[in-house]
Amino acid sequence: MSVIGTRPSATVPLARLLLTAALLGLAGLPNQTSPTAGDLSTETVRCELDPPKDVLALEACVVRAPRDVELLLELGMAYESAGRFEDAHAIYRQAAEADPRDAGARVHLGTALRQIGDLEGAHRAGAFAAELRPHDPVARALITADAQDSSQ
């Protein structure tokens, strides 16, 4: 399984992240000035302790720490706020794959799947999150909403 997801359009965020990294000189590409190791560690700490709110800066942080679930969730929420639901879905899937036992990642993934019309996927993500956090109201709502949608 890929890191980002199985849908062809789900690879778009990775391409955008790599492009952002290349534009910012963070990918270590030849003929570009890259930050020093000290600059990267300072930026990584900044990303972890005080994540930026804008999409481009979050994307740059995720390039540096692609398995940081908290950063991935921040980026996914920024994508949702911008109406980029397919991108949010792909990033939440990446977060769920980075830490399969993170209930928050599963809840966000389920919400994004629901937004793009994948009710079955939303139900699965909600059920998995409910196993991890039995009293999570959003996880329970994903399961309940799916049952109500299928009965109508």
- Does the structure show a pLDDT above 50 at 137? yes
Who's near 74: CB < 8 A, 6+ residues apart?
51, 58
- 34-43, 52-61, 140-149: which range is least confident on average? 34-43
For the segment 129-148, the average pLDDT, to the nearest whole number, is 84
- 29-43, 47-61, 64-78, 138-152: which range is least confident on average? 29-43
Percent of residues, the chain, with pLDDT higher than 90: 53
pLDDT at 124: 94
DSSP string, 86-125: HHHHHHHHHHHHH-TT-HHHHHHHHHHHHHTT-HHHHHHH
Report pLDDT digits (tens) over 94-126: 999 999 999 999 999 999 999 999 999 999 999
Angstrom distance (rounded) from CA 52 to CA 44: 11
Whole-structure pTM value = 0.68
pLDDT at 24: 53
Report pLDDT digits (tens) over 69-101: 999 999 999 999 999 999 999 999 999 999 999
